[in-house]
Amino acid sequence: MTTKLFGTKVPRVEDQRFLRGQGRYVDDLLTDDPRLLHAAVLRSPHAHARIVDIDVSDVLDLDGVVAVWTWEDLTGPMAEPLPLLIPHPTLTHGRTQYALAREEVNYVGEAIAFVVAVDRYVAEDAVARIRVDYEYLEPVVGIDAARAAERTVHDDVPDNVGARMEQENGDARAAIAAAPHTLTLELDIERSACTPMEGRGTVARWDPDTSRLTVWSSTQTSTGVRGCVAAKLGLDLARVDVITPDVGGGFGVKVVHPWPEELLVPLAAKTLGRPVKYTEDRREHFISSAHERAQQHHVEVGFDDEGRVLGLNVEFWHDHGAYTPYGLIVPIITSTQLLGPYKPQNYRVVFESLYTNTVIVTPYRGAGRPQGCFVMERTMDAIAAYLGKDRTEVRSTNFIQPDEFPYEHGLIFQDGRELTYDSGDYPASLAKLKELVGWDEFEEFRAEMAAQGRRVGIGLACYVEGTGVGPYEGAHVHIETSGKVKVATGLTTQGQGHQTAFAQIVADTLGVRFEDVEVTTGDTRKMPYAVGTFASRAAVMSGSAIHLAALRAKEKALRIAAEALEASEEDLEIADGVVSVKGTDASIDLGTVAVLSNPLRYAFDEASKAATQFSVGDPGKPPVAEDDEPGLEGKDFYSPPRSTFANGMHAVIVETDPDTAEIRILKYAVVHDCGHLINPMIVEGQIHGGVAQGVGGALYERMAYDESGQLLNASFMDFLMPYVTEVPTSIDIDHLETPSPLNPLGIKGAGEAGVIPSAAVFAAAIEDAEGFPITAMPISPSELFELRLAHADDTTEATTRSTP
């Protein structure tokens, strides 16, 4: 009997190659090819400037330089702006950059020239020799400057407003006006970034014999890159293969496509007839890949004596940087996912998406949700403080109840579909969280600490996350005559353990040994129809597609086996790769079934003899039936009507040093509901990583731009990504499994969850410790110190705090 693997902590198959140093990341490829060339990019040193002249005359004389491109050298679609990937009717002033800047640069780091040389060292030497005359323009840096609009980023975008979008359910303003109590909050979040350990990178090789281009890219979407490369280079799609090798983390930034280099590398490879590699370095990653998070929010809320929200009106301003390649996905997610597990009776949200002369903004793990969660949870805390109620009580009052699913919010989500929650049990999650963190015992702990002169605070935050957005993913399952099962799905993997989790699904669905399943992701040669890995969608989308494809393969296997065993399909079962008639000794290996599925003329080994023309089949019928095809395969696609909504709640206990204002984490607790778990070990790993990234975003990381648009902390020295010493020493996790009714496995996405409530939960805990409002995140000890000074006059507020 095959053991059920779904839901168990199966060790990862990926680990073997990673642990031996045999992973193949993009910069590892073609290293032994002597013809390989290396690229470097000249990037704008200015945040805003007109390009008067580019002089590359010193470059080609340099020994080892092969070619240099500027915009002038680009032709056809390559000379046009990069695609605006996700248009939206309200994005009235969308703008995208050119692969190489044409006439104007709009952020420090924008690509201007592309050099190809024998190695990266020489390519950088060449970049240093390019002379550019700039006419400086005053930059627009930060949301305040963008809103003030004294200057504009793009001449033809008045007021720097790329989009204005409004949604409303009910009449929020009227409800607030009529409410017994009202509050107004101003809430800010600063910029941060994904910063995977591996930067971006692309390798391309043109094969003149077959007129085929092979592109390897460290991307979250092979098919996206393929489509863009084919379109921009004017190649038939069938001439372009995109393969995603091992990827050293993505977190969102690698889903943008194409990056300029993802086009320029293939262009150079095709033009020069030699393979070309571009590997982004760390400084480039900071100044030329994407950032996220910066938003300012104005909140008006009306509520009753119980803390029930009667009306919520949110206006916010989103900094999307210099261009809008990814459309409005981030602010749309904020505007819709802000609601969390709550049901405000009336809700209005309006945002403006603003241009600034800084790096572009595209989704970073959480994608607008951390900001939305921060806004909603700060609002819940403010209501509780105002009414003198326990913070969990106010939340409970506003929860959508388990019997109210599916719950329709009356809004449109990021995928253009209705915002409808499929399932969840928020009161049960909250009860688990209170237990896990010791919510009810905290006042005792606070008193104990206070007696030692120590200052502590507790906070909690709840979120709901739309996961598994469409449009679709597909899978192909092929049972070979050896009995081994080869599975292909088109989305890519960046360390989430998909090869393991997907193999678990196949092993269970087909009834084969886990060890016999091999999963390929992100290779357009194996599965050309795919979307990509983002929005916590891989397990939901490809997991479901793989399950469906495996069912199809199983169906066929049973049909052929039934014929061979002269039994009825209902009497068959498959376990450990063997089809047997229940309760008898009669059986046949899946590998043999695969042989039988493919009528042969030639016997090329012992096994295939069984399928040759004198061995099988009814001589009176065609060897392959009219409605059948050879081979033991299954292929299917999963396309859900809408997203499935995971949820969770985090709580943290912090200690703030009364003298130094340092912030320490004493306890971190997570309750997480992503439906059925395929592999709890992997899910917990995702939560760990998300929480650590959230700690970074809340307490350490920011993008420190000066007023001229220079990023002052474009290194790991000054962009303070947490080490082990900065993250909680333990993360207490409890799961709730409320299955999704929308997919066959009852699963929901888990990848982004850990990072969503961080800003909210730390702000709440620090506020609870300090006794004054925390309205801007991230927060550093220096900022906490300055806040203490600002609130020092109000000593009564600082020493007496409302009950949590």
Partner 1 sequence: MTTSPEELHDVRLHVNGSVHEVRVPARRLLSDALRHDCGLTGTHVGCEHGVCGACTILVDGKPMRSCLMLAVSAVDAEITTVEGLTEDDGTPQGRLSPVQQAFSDCHGLQCGFCTPGFLTTITAGLAENPDPTEDEAREMIAGNLCRCTGYQNIVKSVLRAAELGKGEE
Partner 2 sequence: MKPAPFAYLRPATLEDALAALAGQQGAKVLAGGQSLVPLLSMRLAAPSTLVDINALPDLGHVTVTGDGDGAGDGVRIGALARHAEVLASAEAAASQPLLAMALSHVAHPTIRNRGTTVGSLVHADAAAEMPMVLRLLEGSVDVASVRGRRTIPAAELFAGPLESTLAHDEIAVEAFFPALAPGAGVAFQEIARRHGDYALVGVAAHVETEGGEVTRARVGFVSVSDVPVVVDVTGAAQDPEGDPAGAALAELEPADDIHATSAYRAHLVKVLTPRVLADAVHHARQRSAQGKSA
| Closer residue to partner 2 (CB): 227 or 697 | 697
CA distance 99 to 755: 32
Full DSSP string of 110-160 = -EEEEEEESSHHHHHHHHHH-EEEEEE-----SHHHHHHTSS-SSTTSGGG
Q: How far is the CB of 26 from partner 1 (least distance, A)?
A: 11
| Closer residue to partner 1 (CB): 181 or 688 | 688
Task: Select the binding partner of residue 781 from partner 2, partner 1, none (C-beta < 5 to 8 A, by kind).
Answer: partner 2
| Closer residue to partner 2 (CB): 713 or 775 | 713
CA distance 672 to 432: 10
CA distance 417 to 331: 16
Decide: is 713 part of the binding site for partner 2 (CB under 8 A): yes
Q: How far is the CB of 722 from partner 2 (least distance, A)?
A: 7
Site for partner 2 in 281-300 (CB under 8 A): 281-283
Task: Select the binding partner of residue 19 from partner 1, partner 2, none (C-beta < 5 to 8 A, by kind).
Answer: partner 1
Task: Select the binding partner of residue 208 from partner 1, partner 2, none (C-beta < 5 to 8 A, by kind).
Answer: none
Token pair for 754: 């850990």
Decide: is 83 part of the binding site for partner 1 (CB under 8 A): no
Q: Which of 326, 668, 700, 762 binds partner 2 (CB under 8 A)?
A: 700
Q: Which of 31, 75, 210, 725 binds partner 2 (CB under 8 A)?
A: 725
Q: Which of 75, 210, 452, 782 binds partner 2 (CB under 8 A)?
A: 782
Instruction: Yes or no: say if 450 and 507 are a contact pair by the CB < 8 Å rule.
Output: no
Q: How far is the CB of 597 from partner 1 (least distance, A)?
A: 34
Token pair for 201: 């990178």
Token pair for 778: 């991230």
Task: Select the binding partner of residue 720 from partner 2, partner 1, none (C-beta < 5 to 8 A, by kind).
Answer: partner 2
Decide: is 211 part of the binding site for partner 1 (CB under 8 A): no
DSSP class of residue 274 equals S
Q: How far is the CB of 193 from partner 2 (least distance, A)?
A: 15
Instruction: Yes or no: say if 625 and 559 are a contact pair by the CB < 8 Å rule.
Output: no
Instruction: Yes or no: say if 205 and 213 are a contact pair by the CB < 8 Å rule.
Output: yes
Instruction: Yes or no: say if 44 and 136 are a contact pair by the CB < 8 Å rule.
Output: no
Q: Which of 30, 412, 720, 798 binds partner 2 (CB under 8 A)?
A: 720
Site for partner 2 in 108-127 (CB under 8 A): 120-121, 124-125
| Closer residue to partner 1 (CB): 715 or 803 | 715
Decide: is 722 part of the binding site for partner 2 (CB under 8 A): yes
DSSP class of residue 12 equals P
**Residues 659-662: contacts with CB under 8 Å, at least 24 apart:** 660/781, 661/781, 661/782, 661/784, 661/785, 661/788, 662/781
CA dihedral in degrees (617, 623, 627, 628; nearest 10)?
A: 80
Tell me which stretch binds partner 1 (CB under 8 A): 26-34, 295-303, 399-407, 576-584.
26-34
Q: What share of the chain is helix, strand, coil (3-state, %, to 5)?
A: 30, 25, 45
N-terminal to C-terminal alpha carbon distance within the chain: 53
Q: How far is the CB of 482 from partner 1 (least distance, A)?
A: 21
* DSSP three-state, residue 323: coil
What ranges make up the beta strands (E) of 642-747?
A: 644-656, 663-673, 732-735
Decide: is 18 part of the binding site for partner 1 (CB under 8 A): yes
- The 267-306 contact track toward partner 1, x by CB under 8 A, reads --------------xx------------------------
Tell me which stretch binds partner 2 (CB under 8 A): 25-33, 208-216, 670-678, 709-717.
709-717
CA distance 306 to 392: 12
Give the interface size with partner 1 as a residue count (CB under 8 A): 62
DSSP class of residue 19 equals H
Give the interface size with partner 2 as a residue count (CB under 8 A): 29
Whether the CA torsion 151, 153, 156, 162 is positive or negative: it is: negative
Q: How far is the CB of 725 from partner 1 (least distance, A)?
A: 5
Which helix (H) or strand (E) is 487 found in, with range?
strand 485-489
Decide: is 155 part of the binding site for partner 1 (CB under 8 A): no
Sequence-distant (≥ 6) Cβ neighbours of residue 57 within 8 angstroms: none
Site for partner 1 in 713-742 (CB under 8 A): 715-717, 721, 723-725, 727, 729-731
Task: Select the binding partner of residue 64 from partner 2, partner 1, none (C-beta < 5 to 8 A, by kind).
Answer: partner 1
Instruction: Yes or no: say if 275 and 204 are a contact pair by the CB < 8 Å rule.
Output: yes
Q: How far is the CB of 492 from partner 1 (least distance, A)?
A: 12
CA distance 241 to 224: 11
Q: Which of 110, 190, 198, 516 binds partner 1 (CB under 8 A)?
A: 198
Token pair for 692: 């650590």
Site for partner 2 in 633-662 (CB under 8 A): 659-662
* DSSP three-state, residue 697: helix
Please identify which residue in the block is written with the tokens 């008193």: 447
| Closer residue to partner 1 (CB): 142 or 690 | 690
DSSP class of residue 83 equals P
Instruction: Yes or no: say if 288 and 692 are a contact pair by the CB < 8 Å rule.
Output: no
CA distance 776 to 759: 9
CB 803: neighbour CB atoms within 10 A? 10
CA distance 378 to 375: 5
Site for partner 1 in 664-703 (CB under 8 A): 681-682, 684-685, 687-693
Decide: is 704 part of the binding site for partner 2 (CB under 8 A): yes
Instruction: Yes or no: say if 462 and 454 are a contact pair by the CB < 8 Å rule.
Output: no
- The 507-546 contact track toward partner 1, x by CB under 8 A, reads ----------------------------------------
| Closer residue to partner 2 (CB): 230 or 698 | 698
Tell me which stretch binds partner 1 (CB under 8 A): 23-31, 171-179, 454-462, 772-780.
23-31
Token pair for 686: 């995702």
Sequence-distant (≥ 6) Cβ neighbours of residue 717 within 8 angstroms: none
Decide: is 19 part of the binding site for partner 1 (CB under 8 A): yes
Decide: is 136 part of the binding site for partner 1 (CB under 8 A): no
What interhelical angle do 391-398 and 426-437 show, nearest 10? Answer: 170
Compute CA 403 distance to the chain's CA centroid, rounded to the nearest angstrom: 31
Q: What angle do CA 326, 328, 331 make, to 5 degrees?
A: 125
Q: How far is the CB of 759 from partner 2 (least distance, A)?
A: 18
Task: Select the binding partner of residue 712 from partner 1, partner 2, none (C-beta < 5 to 8 A, by kind).
Answer: partner 2
Decide: is 455 part of the binding site for partner 2 (CB under 8 A): no
Decide: is 726 part of the binding site for partner 2 (CB under 8 A): yes
| Closer residue to partner 2 (CB): 197 or 712 | 712
Which helix (H) or strand (E) is 182 found in, with range?
strand 181-189
Task: Select the binding partner of residue 128 from partner 1, partner 2, none (C-beta < 5 to 8 A, by kind).
Answer: partner 2
Task: Select the binding partner of residue 713 from partner 1, partner 2, none (C-beta < 5 to 8 A, by kind).
Answer: partner 2
| Closer residue to partner 2 (CB): 614 or 723 | 723
| Closer residue to partner 2 (CB): 639 or 660 | 660
| Closer residue to partner 1 (CB): 727 or 787 | 727
Q: Which of 148, 197, 447, 712 binds partner 1 (CB under 8 A)?
A: 197
Calculate the alpha carbon distances from 579 to 162, 359, 568, 602, 632 in Å: 60, 57, 12, 26, 14
> Which positions touch partner 2 (CB under 8 A)?
120-121, 124-125, 128, 281-283, 659-662, 700, 704, 712-713, 717-718, 720, 722-723, 725-726, 780-782, 785-786, 789
> Which positions touch partner 1 (CB under 8 A)?
11-12, 14-25, 27-28, 31-32, 58, 61-64, 121, 195-198, 246-249, 251, 281-282, 494-497, 681-682, 684-685, 687-693, 715-717, 721, 723-725, 727, 729-731, 754
